[in-house]
Structure 1
Amino acid sequence: MKKIDYAVLLSLGALWGGSFLFMRMGAGAFGAWPLAGLRAIGAALCFLPLLLSRARLAEWRAHWKPIAVVGLVNSALPFALFTFATRSLPAGLASIIDGLTPMFAAVVGWLWLGQRLDGWRIVGLLAGFAGVAWLAEGSLALGPGAGTALLAGVVATMLYGYVVHYTHLRLASVNPLVVTVGSHMVAALVLLPPTVLAWPAQSPPLQAWLAAAGLAVLCTALAYVLFFWVLARVGATRIMVIPYLIPAFGVLWGALLLHEPVTAGMLGGCAAILLGTALTTGLVGAWRGTSRLAAEEG
Structure 2
Amino acid sequence: MVIAVALVCNLLWSLSYVFQKEASLVLPVALIVAIRFLLGALAMLPVLWFLRGDIYRESLGSIRPRGILGAVSIGFFCYFLSPGFQLYGIQEGRASSAGILVVTEPVFGLVLAWLFLGEVITRRVLFGLLFILSGVMILSGVLQSGRFLGGELVPNLIILTSIFLESLQGPISKKTMVSMHPFLMAFIAYLSGGVLALLWCFSVGQFPFEIKADFPWSAIFYLAFICTTTAYSLWYWVLKRMPLSKAVLFIYVQPVSASVFAWLWLGETLKATDILGGIFILLGILVAQGIGHNRQSSVSS
Normalised-by-shorter TM-score class: 0.7 to 0.9
Other-structure match for 1:159:
165
Q: Which moved more, 1:210-219 or 1:130-139?
A: 130-139
- From 268, 271, 274, the equivalent of 1:266 is 274
Corresponding position: 1:91 with 2:99: no
Which whole-Å CA distance do the structure 2 matches of 1:193 and 1:270 have between them? 39
- Sort the Cα spacing of 1:278 and 1:198 in 2 relative to 1 into closer, same or farther, 3 A: farther
Gaps of 5+ in 1: 287-298
Other-structure match for 2:182:
176
Matches within 5 A, 1:33-182: 33-52=30-49, 53=52, 55=56, 56=59, 62=65, 63-110=67-114, 116-137=120-141, 146-182=152-188
Local SS of the residue matching 2:179: coil
Other-structure match for 1:23:
20
Other-structure match for 1:289:
none
Other-structure match for 1:206:
214
Local SS of the residue matching 1:30: coil
Gaps of 5+ in 2: 293-301
What is the one-letter code of the residue matched to 2:13? W
Q: How many Å apart are 1:172 and its aligned residue?
A: 2.9
- Sort the Cα spacing of 1:115 and 1:60 in 2 relative to 1 into closer, same or farther, 3 A: closer
Listed one character per residue, the Cα deviations across residues 96-141 of structure 1 (whole Å, up to 9, x for unaligned) are 1112111111233455677654322322332222122111217978
Q: Share of identical aligned residues, percent?
A: 22
Q: Is the 8 A contact 1:85 1:150 kept in 2?
A: yes
- From 197, 209, 219, the equivalent of 1:191 is 197
Which whole-Å CA distance do the structure 1 matches of 2:18 and 2:93 have between them? 11
What is the one-letter code of the residue matched to 1:189? V
Q: How many Å apart are 1:183 and its aligned residue?
A: 0.7
Q: Is the 8 A contact 2:17 2:98 kept in 1?
A: yes
- Sort the Cα spacing of 1:241 and 1:203 in 2 relative to 1 into closer, same or farther, 3 A: same
Q: How many Å apart are 1:36 and its aligned residue?
A: 1.6
- Sort the Cα spacing of 1:252 and 1:242 in 2 relative to 1 into closer, same or farther, 3 A: same
Q: Is the 8 A contact 2:30 2:197 kept in 1?
A: yes
What is the one-letter code of the residue matched to 2:21? R
Other-structure match for 1:283:
289
Q: Is the 8 A contact 1:23 1:215 kept in 2?
A: yes
Q: How many Å apart are 1:251 and its aligned residue?
A: 0.7
RMSD of aligned alpha carbons: 3.5
Q: Is the 8 A contact 1:97 1:154 kept in 2?
A: yes
- Sort the Cα spacing of 1:226 and 1:268 in 2 relative to 1 into closer, same or farther, 3 A: same
Which whole-Å CA distance do the structure 2 matches of 1:158 and 1:228 have between them? 18
TM-score where L is the length of structure 1 = 0.78
TM-score where L is the length of structure 2 = 0.78
Listed one character per residue, the Cα deviations across residues 36-69 of structure 1 (whole Å, up to 9, x for unaligned) are 2211111111113334548256666642112111
Corresponding position: 1:14 with 2:14: no
Q: How many Å apart are 1:149 and its aligned residue?
A: 1.6
Which whole-Å CA distance do the structure 2 matches of 1:17 and 1:104 have between them? 18
Local SS of the residue matching 1:206: coil
Q: How many Å apart are 1:73 and its aligned residue?
A: 1.4
Corresponding position: 1:243 with 2:251: yes
Local SS of the residue matching 1:87: helix
- Sort the Cα spacing of 1:255 and 1:51 in 2 relative to 1 into closer, same or farther, 3 A: same
Q: Is the 8 A contact 2:26 2:215 kept in 1?
A: no
Which whole-Å CA distance do the structure 1 matches of 2:210 and 2:280 have between them? 41
What is the one-letter code of the residue matched to 1:199? Q
Counting matched residue pairs gives 280
Listed one character per residue, the Cα deviations across residues 224-249 of structure 1 (whole Å, up to 9, x for unaligned) are 344466778x9558855531222222
More helix by share: 1
Q: How many Å apart are 1:198 and its aligned residue?
A: 5.3
Which whole-Å CA distance do the structure 1 matches of 2:133 and 2:225 have between them? 33
